[in-house]
Amino acid sequence: MISAPAICSAVLIAAAPAGIARADEAALHLKDSPDAALVVSKCSICHSVDYIQSNAPFLKRAGWEAEVRKMVKVMGAPLDEAELARVVDYLTLQYGSDAP
Amino acid sequence: MVIRTRRSLLQTALGGLGLLGAGLSGPLARAGLPAGTLASAVLDALAGKRPLLKRSYRPPNYESPVSYLNEVITPNDRFFVRWHLADIPTIDVASWRLSIGGDGASRPFELTLAQLQHEFEPVELTAVCQCAGNRRGLSDPHVPGVQWGNGAMGNARWKGARLKDLLARAGLAKEAVEIAFNGADGPVLEATPDFTKSIPAWKALDENTLVAYEMNGEPLPHWNGYPARIIVPGWTATYWMKQVVSIRALAQPLSSFWMNTAYRIPKGKFPVVDRFLSQESETTTPVTEILVNSLITNLEEGQRFRAGSAIVVQGLAWDGGAGLRRVEVSIDGGRSWQSAQFGADLGRYSARAWQYAFTPRARGRVAVAARASNAQGATQTEQLIFNPAGYYNNVIQPISLEVT
């Protein structure tokens, strides 16, 4: 399991002093997988990762990709195309509805 | 149809509706939250709040358990919390200022909180504050977003100055088409669109549209927009800007992600009456007034009763201000309906309590449901009007009781 704040606290302090994580956010864990750390480090810049957990498991790959692309294009999430692909893969496999 | 016969109290408290099924073969079906939503929800108390159902920690999105809505006025410490962006400052009233201006106002000015409270006639009214996405989590199929159950709403007494009085002092021009609001909250990343909203000038000039500084006789709670928020009675809460710091009269429609892309519904699909013409596109239109709706607030799915003993069904009904006409209750899954009794009328923008009592004679399942209708002849739907962002869910919701 990946502890969200353990991974993201440095990111938050560096990039987002205003969005300080609340204590209870520390209890959130995303499903274990090599790219979980990438997902936590990118997504939790702006929001707690319970957004991922609660939006599951009903999105198919296209749905998760649309969400991540919206986060990049509209919300300004700092992911390049390769990172975006890894995040979409992770969300599809771990929190999607059409995982193999 | 799968019927779950038992549910833990915790799961009910967490908004877990579990599996589908009214329990009887009536026309109504009970929708459920996604499994991941149920698993990640906890009862958690923000500072100054009683435990609410946490949907997300940051930004904080917390809904009221349905039992908190069993009173017609929702207490401040039980009122739901909804923020779009995670930078939510603690407001220092000494330095807080509300600026009123824009290119559609000739005499821009600023107000302190004391000036807002004392230089304008105070008005107090009771109104439902309901997220446009309340019940999104019950959409079938599910759609992404905050997975709200029934509790992204509350009913409160709001006291403040009329927005039209502020706009008059600012010299509102006839050319102003919209009034735009911004709050002190902001995004974490500079690239993220700030949460700004606008309403049509005609709605801003409605005598019931307020800049409120009190909620149920107290200062607004921090989480509900202290020290002042916009109150747009009858319209969904997306326009009720919290921590408001800026009110601008605009000669052109507001260009903002939160207006042009978010909070929109397909045109012509919902029975809305109020139109927001300056923001309509070919295919979509912003959400406007709250649709007529009701909620049973005193019963839980699977609750047990004894045959021969009276069951009192109570709840709330509300609409966008057209005026409630009746609430009907069905005890056979929606095949037949009987009138419920209304409680006190607290004004056309307020929720209204109602109740209905019956005595089941036979053992077995009883599917209870409520349905409100209003003076415009609008009522709740039996089937979801699907839309991709999950707004405007006013589907009739059955609750299955067990009579033993």
Residues of B in contact with A8 (CB under 8 A): none
Q: What percent of chain B has pLDDT over 70?
A: 94
pLDDT of res. B83: 98
> Has residue B297 been placed in a domain?
no
Encode pLDDT of B137-170 as tens digits.
999 999 999 999 999 999 999 999 999 999 999 9
Residues of A within 8 A of B54 (CB-CB) are 24, 50
**Pseudo-torsion of CA B128, B130, B134, B135, nearest 10°?**
10
Superfamily (CATH H level) for A2-95:
Cytochrome c-like domain (1.10.760.10)
Task: State ipTM.
Answer: 0.92
Look at A74 and B261 and tell me if their CB atoms are within 8 Å: yes
Q: Do A54 and B193 lie within an 8 Å CB cutoff?
A: no
B90 in a structural domain: no
Per DSSP, helices labelled H in B153-217 are: 163-169, 201-204
Classify residue B163 by its DSSP letter.
H
**Chain A hits for B35, Cβ within 8 Å:** 56-57
Chain B within 8 Å of A73 (Cβ-Cβ)?
Answer: no
**With helix as H, strand as E and coil as C, how does B216-243 read?**
CCEECCHHHCCCCEEECCCECHHHCCCC
Q: What is the rounded distance in angstroms from the CA atom of residue B172 to the CA atom of residue B56?
A: 39
pTM of the model: 0.91
List the beta bridge partners of residue B109. B100
Contact flag A28-B57 (C-beta cutoff 8 Å): yes
- Whether the pLDDT of residue B338 is over 60: the answer is yes
> CATH code at B167?
3.90.420.10
- Residue A71, pLDDT > 90, answer yes
Can you say whether the dihedral through the CA atoms of A41, B81, B394, B284 is positive or negative? negative
- Asked whether residue B17 is domain-assigned, the answer is no
Question: What confidence tens digit (pLDDT) does each residue in B73-131 have?
Answer: 999 999 999 999 999 999 999 999 999 999 999 999 999 999 999 999 999 999 999 99
Residue B15 scores a pLDDT above 80: no
The predicted pLDDT at position A23 comes to: 57
Question: For position B25, what pLDDT does the model report?
Answer: 56
Q: Is residue B42 part of a domain?
A: no
Q: What mean pLDDT do residues B286-310 have?
A: 98
Q: Is A92 on the interface with B (CB under 8 A)?
A: no
| B401 is a domain residue | no
- Can you give the residue ranges of every domain in chain A? 2-95
Q: How confident is the model at residue A24 (pLDDT cuts 50, 70, 90)?
A: confident
Task: Look at residue A98 in the predicted model and tell me its pLDDT.
Answer: 81
- CA-nearest residue to A51 within chain B is B56
B257 contacts chain A (CB < 8 A)? yes
Q: Which residues in chain A touch residue B259, judged by CB atoms under 8 angstroms apart? A: none
Sorting pLDDT into bands at 50, 70 and 90, what band is A80? very high
How many A-B residue pairs are in contact by the CB < 8 A criterion?
94
Cis peptide before B75 (omega within 30 of 0): no
Distance from CA of A87 to the nearest CA of B (A): 16
* Local confidence band at A22 (pLDDT 50, 70, 90 cut-offs): low
What span, in angstroms and rounded, lies between the C-alpha atoms of B9 and B152? Answer: 20
Residue of A nearest to B38 (CA): A54
Domain count, chain B: 1
In sequence order, what are the residues at sequence separation of 6 or more whose Cβ sits closer than 8 angstroms to the Cβ of residue B152? Answer: B63, B64, B80, B82, B130, B131, B133, B134, B135, B146, B237
Residue A99 is predicted with a pLDDT of: 59
Domain membership of residue B185 as a residue range = 98-286
- B6 domain-assigned: no
Residues ≥6 apart with Cβ < 8 Å to A89: A35
Contact criterion met (CB < 8 Å) for B36 and A54:
yes
Q: For testing the chain B interface, which of A12, A28, A43, A50 should be mutated: the one with the most B CBs within 10 Å? A: A50
| Inter-CA distances, B15 with B217, B298, B320, Å | 29, 14, 25
Confidence of residue A13 (pLDDT cuts 50, 70, 90): very low
